[in-house]
Structure 1
Amino acid sequence: MTVSLGTLVIDTEACKGCELCIDACPPDVLRMTTDIVNERGYRYPQLLPGCIACKACTAICPDFVFQVYRYEQPQQHGEAAE
């Protein structure tokens, strides 16, 4: 089971694919797309379950593509959540 404390909105069209957010993410829940690119031809991050709303991605992103939202109650994902 995975627990998320928040979620992200990612402006994928503004992303330049620098991947700084991937290394900065403590719970390791950001992954770069492999076969999808934005209109400018860059790969961009996708969010997996488990965001802790720490805002490390917003602090490191040079293009300000992230908006972080914290849930009022933790969200559970996986078998135990069903």
Structure 2
Amino acid sequence: MYLLLLGLGLALLKYLQIEPVAAWDWWWVLSPFGAAVLWWWWADHFGYTKRQASVKMDERRRRRLDEGRRRLGLPPLDRR
């Protein structure tokens, strides 16, 4: 996401002819978009995206179970 924002900012500065970005070649200005594509490819190819989604789901499940235990008057499970 940060690479996309950087790319959009640089493209806007280049389009509006604001220095020093106006003097740069377009391939320098558009390179954050290429880096974003490479990042997304790497994250999907090596499982980073799925791992992050799994961690998020596990945390939601843990909170849901702890909330249920709290409503029953039980202490939350000790996770080590």
Higher-Rg member (1/2): 2
Which has more helix, going by share of residues? 2
Coarse TM-score class (shorter-chain normalised): under 0.3
